[in-house]
Amino acid sequence: MILSLRPLGPDDIDALEAIEHVAYSAPWSRSMFASELAKPTARSLGAFATDGTLLGYLILSRYVDAWHLMNVAVHPEHRRAGVASALLRRVLEDTSGDPARGYTLEVRVSNTGAVKLYEGFGFEIQGVRKGYYLDNREDALIMWKTADPGQAAG
C-alpha cells in the first residue's frame, strides 16, 4: 500500500487538511500546518500510496530537551494497515542520533488504539493534562519515551 515516506512541504497542505478534517473533531488550521512545515526545528513525514495519494502524516518538533510529536493522522480508510507505525518507526530512526532528547506527546484518554500504538514504540504514560482538548474538554495522557543512546544512528 505505501510506496514511499517523504518529508512534507507547502504543496502538501491541501492533502494534509483533507485528512485532518476527516480524522479529528478539532482539526488543525491551514496556518498551523504552514507554521509547522516552515519550522527549521520540525520534522514532517508523509506516507504516500503508489498513485501519490497521501495516506497519513506525522509532524514532530524539536525542543530543548525533547522531540514533541505534534500531530499524527491516518485517513480513516487506511487505518490499521501499518501507516502510523511506518511513520513512527522512520521518524524515531531519523532522530535516534540525538541521545540528549527524549520524545513526548499528548493523546486523548479515549484513544486507546493510539495509546497502544505508542506503548508499542516504548512510550509510557507519565501524567494527565485535564481538559486539554478544547472541542470537548477531554483529558490528554502525557506520554514520554526516553532517548536511547544505544540506538544512535551510525
What residues does 74 pair with on adjacent strands? Answer: 56
Q: Is residue 11 in some structural domain? A: yes
Among 20, 36, 103, 118, the one annotated catalytic: 118
Give domain status of residue 54, yes or no.
Answer: yes
Query: pLDDT tens, 101-152?
Result: 899 999 999 999 999 999 999 999 999 999 888 788 899 999 999 876 554 3
Q: Domain range for residue 32?
A: 2-149
Catalytic residue among 106, 132, 133, 138: 106
In a domain, 105, yes or no: yes
Respond yes or no: is residue 118 known to be catalytic. yes
pLDDT in the model for residue 100: 74
User: In total, how many domains does the chain have?
Assistant: 1
Examine the pLDDT at 3 and tell me if it is beyond 90: no
Structural domain includes residue 42: yes
153 falls in which pLDDT band (50, 70, 90)?
A: very low
Question: What digits encode the pLDDT tens for the residues 62-98?
Answer: 998 899 999 999 999 999 899 999 999 999 999 988 7
Give the 3-state secondary structure of the chain.
CEEEEEECCHHHHHHHHHHHHHHCCCCCCHHHHHHHHHCCCEEEEEEEECCCCEEEEEEEEECCCEEEEEEEEECHHHCCCCHHHHHHHHHHHHCCCCCCCEEEEEEECCCHHHHHHHHHCCCEEEEEECCCCCCCCCCEEEEEECCCHHHCCC
> What CATH code is carried by the domain that includes residue 108?
3.40.630.30
In a domain, 154, yes or no: no
| Helix 83-94 × helix 112-120 angle, to 10° | 40
- Give tens-digit pLDDT for 26-35: 899 999 999 9
Instruction: Give pTM, 2 decimals.
Output: 0.89
Instruction: Look at residue 136 in the predicted model and tell me its pLDDT.
Output: 85
The stretch 41-61 carries a mean pLDDT of: 95
At residue 1 the predicted structure's pLDDT band, cuts being 50, 70 and 90, is low
Percent pLDDT > 70 in the chain is: 94
CA atoms within 13 A on the CB side of 2: 21
User: Residue 105's CB: how many other CB atoms inside 10 A?
Assistant: 21
Could you tell me what percent of the chain has a pLDDT over 90? 75
